[in-house]
Copies of this chain bind each other. A is one copy, B any other.
């Protein structure tokens, strides 16, 4: 008898109607009377369950009625069309076999659980509806990212996780070490001797692969990274995690506008790909998690993203008459309240804010001719705020060195970064997308802990 996945039964129902098939999966719900019963089976291949009907004609009928939720079973039976029922078809069982038993104290009983509780059972939560949807969408979105870039000839680069440099000084870093911390080796001055550490120096977990991605862009033209990055910041918010995945494309021969075009196309591509390939999951989010989701995503896909300079944005915010917690003046870093006002109230669609004051941006961003602003841009989206940040990079070695001196950066630490300029001075641009932010945006889930399989936050590294 043909073993078949439940996804296939749903996608090609007509082919199977009236046929006998074999399925295997886990019991999600079970109820029965004296004469017959219903089991909802999920086999992992599909968001939806399959309804199995069994009756007293089965020799093990009594036993079946006692199977616990989460038991592993296989079922042989006929695929039968159902009229007017919730599900379009069901299986009339000829044989139900217990493949593996479950205990009756299984925590995911039918009643609803809070996301907070489900975080404490991260080993079981992917079996719940919400997290089954989240993590399949996460997988499909990750593939969409690869597909988008690979189809355009971008080279995927694995930038290092353990690093001796601190990139852009973008954030607090985790130390990586094999020293015996109870009794570390000391130098003649009595300080810890990191020359004796595993790598012969102090090393940390990367906060960004950008600088290394620039190396590869200046060889392969168009490249992207997609890997884990880290922040050792003690911030307990719904939008920050200590370990998260980033996508960092970097493009040679590209100016700021080129980055904006690629980023806009990428966001739209990911949304379209996920809607096409996870329609049931997306329906679930739109119905149960964020009722405005489809409207918001449609708006993104169908609109041309807005563009506004930082200077214009500051003017608009000042003229808006809105009371902000943080007053707006040229030179401030825009806060989430400002970003959301811009994208939700003024534009009502995604908007790129460009040309920020150099003093609130990183040293490697390309100085504009005005001497005050840099060719940077952030993408703000309704409901979330910033999801992408990027810039044209300073390729002019004299301008870059001057900027590093102003900021007191040690040029020797960046010897190879400067050599990239010394040998070519090629224009290039790039950006970073926080993958979890994108998943939150795609699903309407409001806490970053609920879109990463095993979240790492201050005080939390279970599983």
Residues of B within 8 A of A181 (CB): 175, 177, 179, 181, 184, 192
Determine if A123 and B228 form an interchain contact, defined as CB atoms under 8 angstroms apart. no
Interface size on A, residues (CB 8 A): 101
Determine if B423 and A24 form an interchain contact, defined as CB atoms under 8 angstroms apart. no
Q: How far is the CA of A458 from the CA of B146 in the complex (A)?
A: 32
The reply to whether the CB of A70 lies closer than 8 angstroms to some CB of chain B is yes
The reply to whether the CB of A191 lies closer than 8 angstroms to some CB of chain B is yes
Of A7, A72, A227, most B-chain CB atoms within 10 Å? A72
The reply to whether the CB of A222 lies closer than 8 angstroms to some CB of chain B is yes
Q: Beta-carbon contacts of A122-142 to B below 8 Å, as 1s and 0s?
A: 111011000010011011101
The reply to whether the CB of A294 lies closer than 8 angstroms to some CB of chain B is no
The segment out of A30-38, A348-356, A372-380, A448-456 that lies at the interface is A448-456
Determine if B456 and A160 form an interchain contact, defined as CB atoms under 8 angstroms apart. yes
Q: Beta-carbon contacts of A165-182 to B below 8 Å, as 1s and 0s?
A: 100000010111111011
Rounded to whole Å, the gap between the CB of A342 and the closest CB of chain B is 31
A253/B158 contact (C-beta < 8 A), A422-B102, A423-B124 known: no
The reply to whether the CB of A242 lies closer than 8 angstroms to some CB of chain B is yes
Residues of B within 8 A of A416 (CB): 122-123, 463
Q: Beta-carbon contacts of A435-463 to B below 8 Å, as 1s and 0s?
A: 00000000000000000111010111111
- Checking B176, B179, B417, B453 against A205 with a beta-carbon cut-off of 8 angstroms, the contacting residue is B176
Interface residues of A in 91-121 (CB under 8 A from B): 99-103, 106
Residues of B within 8 A of A456 (CB): 160, 162, 199
The reply to whether the CB of A371 lies closer than 8 angstroms to some CB of chain B is no
The segment out of A57-65, A402-410, A424-432 that lies at the interface is A424-432
The reply to whether the CB of A384 lies closer than 8 angstroms to some CB of chain B is no
Residues of B within 8 A of A155 (CB): 135-136, 139
Rounded to whole Å, the gap between the CB of A447 and the closest CB of chain B is 17
Residues of B within 8 A of A99 (CB): 425-427
Q: How far is the CA of A222 from the CA of B44 in the complex (A)?
A: 8
The reply to whether the CB of A252 lies closer than 8 angstroms to some CB of chain B is yes
Determine if A162 and B126 form an interchain contact, defined as CB atoms under 8 angstroms apart. no
Interface residues of A in 216-269 (CB under 8 A from B): 216-222, 227-228, 230, 232, 234, 242-243, 245, 252-253
Which 9 pairs show the lowest CB-CB distances between chains A and B? A44-B221, A100-B425, A126-B219, A199-B461, A123-B416, A139-B156, A160-B454, A139-B155, A70-B423
A–B Cβ pairs within 8 angstroms, 9 of them: A44-B222, A99-B425, A123-B417, A124-B423, A135-B219, A160-B453, A160-B454, A174-B198, A199-B242
